[in-house]
Structure 1
Amino acid sequence: MKGTPASPQCGFSRQACHLLDEHKIKYDYFDVLADENIREQLKKYSNWNIYPQLYVDGELIGGLDIMRKMIENGDFELKLQQLNIVQQTKDMRKYLESLINQAPLMLFFKGTSETPRCGFTKELINLLSKANITDYKTFDISQDENVRQKIKEYSSWQTYPQIYVNGQLIGSLDILKQLDEEGTLVQTLTGKQGITV
């Protein structure tokens, strides 16, 4: 835009700010009058010779007329909602990754190690205890339905418990049972050799 929202330097920029403010749309701005080089380069980049230029998530939407039309017919609100959904998805993915990486061995199941809330969880805890694996963290999926559903999408694994080692999905209880039968459970989960008796 030309100028700032507090001090627009042309009628089109003033109208654009007013329109965005009127519809309570949060925005940021760059005053193209502050840098002639950027002003000219942006025209070339966008193939749009007039200001203001409206960008949403790095994509040129257009100028004042297009902005006005999109706001009037609801397309602008839809675009912002889609952007919000994308951002929420990115935020959820980051949150899930932070949970998965809380510890080298991370378990997602119903309940806690002390009070398992399903047979599979209890069986998993017993298997880990038998293998003398005690260094892990857990997340109780029954306490957060959103995480419970989204981590299934994230991992493309529909069942619980889910076991992660160094941020990588190992699988569920059946996989751990198989690893135990093969004698590789301890090494897979801890990176250490198990003790053969």
Structure 2
Amino acid sequence: MITIQSTDHFIETCKHLGLIVVHFYADWAEQCKVLKNVFEELEKDSGLNHVLFLEIEAETHPTIAAQYKVLAAPTIIYLMGGKQVDRVDGVYTREIVEKVRLHAALADDLGNLQPSQMTTKPVAPRNPETKEELNARLRRLITAAPVMLFMKGDPNTPKCGFSRQIVNILNEHNADYRTFDILEDEAVRQGLKEFSDWPTYPQLYVNGDLVGGLDIVKEMVDSGELQSLLPKKQSLEDRLKRLINEADIMVFMKGSKDSPKCGFSRQTMDILKETGLPFSTFDILADEEVRQGLKTFSDWPTYPQVYVKGSLIGGLDIIKELKELGELTSSLKGES
């Protein structure tokens, strides 16, 4: 997988004539790490030798991200002949893999790649994954999130009754969990059985430790143990309350403090930095749920939004007005 270093690097790499799969990721997003493993496995497929896999850190390369309207990580963009032909927003492993194979096949069928035109990736010879390497990958996977479910399919489309039942149980308990589709990775499917000494699926892990399969989970439901074991999904309202109180001065904006992604956010940063007061920011482009939810929560339709000790001060116009009145610093300190 090629990691894009700059806009010029991206432009040059996109001269590849075959299918290009672009993974816009964020270092802090655990689900992006899971997808990276998926792409590394796809690269091993000899039938996909002409597919180029790229990864771009969305926050580090906002110009490229904006070009493809990337609002959250992970986002997967499919390019053919330099043009976008498809996309997947979010962690939908099955859909992502199916679209890779579909567009790779269409490229050949539609004659987009003539043998004389094909840009073949230099493929280094790969040795089979050793047991130690597989076990290391399995350890990374089972700890990719506090609660990991290895199942057939995904939560939206379980591919067996047992997987469907355990997903229903986790959802009923409002559990905050991630999943891995073992049908997409035969090495993981077989290796995890031996690694955890558990022969069937689904398999549920909490903090890297195997809890068990469906029968064990059902027993824990009956005994009341499961409720206390699983971390719960935070309601949007609770999450927003936590976010606006993360610092005495919190700014919800497009981009980051040092890399604003719109003129209003940039002006707000310039004004706040002049005060010399410490403040924190949250990039609403990286989280659509927060972006939409905060508008309703605070009854304020635009960004940026500035909060002081959990209370909304306002947007850029209010900040400018407070500055002109000489009241900005005292307002940001919560003194007025």
Task: Name the TM-score, length of structure 2 as normaliser.
Answer: 0.31
Q: Which residue of 2 aligns with 1:95?
A: 137
Q: What is the distance in 2 between the residues matched to 1:183 and 1:190? A: 14
Residue of 164, 169, 178 corresponding to 1:127: 169
Q: Which residue of 1 aligns with 2:18?
A: none
Residue of 172, 185, 188 corresponding to 1:144: 185
Residue of 154, 157, 160 corresponding to 1:115: 157
Structure 2 residue 182 is the aligned partner of structure 1 residue 154: no
2:193 corresponds to which letter in structure 1? Answer: K
CA deviations over 1:58-93 (Å, ceiling 9, x no partner): xxxxxxxxxxxxxxxxxxxxxxxxxx88x8111111
- Distance apart, 1:165 and its partner CA: 0.4
1:190 is paired with a residue whose SS is coil
1:122 is paired with a residue whose SS is helix
Q: What is the distance in 1 between the residues matched to 2:132 and 2:232? A: 31
- Distance apart, 1:128 and its partner CA: 1.1
Q: What is the distance in 2 between the residues matched to 1:157 and 1:189? A: 21
1:157 is paired with a residue whose SS is coil
Q: What is the distance in 2 between the residues matched to 1:159 and 1:189? A: 21
Q: What is the distance in 2 between the residues matched to 1:191 and 1:175? A: 19
Q: What is the distance in 1 between the residues matched to 2:152 and 2:211? A: 18
Q: What is the distance in 2 between the residues matched to 1:129 and 1:153? A: 28
- Distance apart, 1:102 and its partner CA: 0.2
Unaligned runs of 5+ in 1: 1-83, 193-197
CA deviations over 1:162-193 (Å, ceiling 9, x no partner): 0000000000011110000011112122399x
Structure 2 residue 215 is the aligned partner of structure 1 residue 186: no
Q: What is the distance in 1 between the residues matched to 2:232 and 2:156? A: 25
Unaligned runs of 5+ in 2: 1-126, 234-336
Instruction: Kindly indicate which of the two structures has a greater share of residues assigned to strand.
Output: 2
CA contact (8 A) 2:174 2:232 kept: no
Q: What is the distance in 1 between the residues matched to 2:191 and 2:166? A: 22
1:145 corresponds to which letter in structure 2? Answer: E
Which aligned pairs between 1:31-50 and structure 2 lie closer than 5 A? Answer: none
Q: What is the distance in 1 between the residues matched to 2:163 and 2:150? A: 9
CA deviations over 1:128-182 (Å, ceiling 9, x no partner): 111121x111000001111100000000000100000000000001111000001
Structure 2 residue 202 is the aligned partner of structure 1 residue 174: no
Structure 1 ranges of 4+ moved more than 6 A: none
Q: What is the distance in 1 between the residues matched to 2:142 and 2:218? A: 21
Q: Which residue of 2 aligns with 1:14?
A: none
Q: What is the distance in 1 between the residues matched to 2:172 and 2:143? A: 24
Task: Name the TM-score, length of structure 1 as normaliser.
Answer: 0.51
RMSD: 2.0
Q: Which residue of 2 aligns with 1:105?
A: 147
Q: What is the distance in 1 between the residues matched to 2:177 and 2:171? A: 11
Q: What is the distance in 2 between the residues matched to 1:191 and 1:122? A: 19
1:169 is paired with a residue whose SS is strand
Q: What is the distance in 2 between the residues matched to 1:170 and 1:191? A: 17
Q: What is the distance in 2 between the residues matched to 1:154 and 1:191? A: 27
2:130 is paired with a residue whose SS is helix
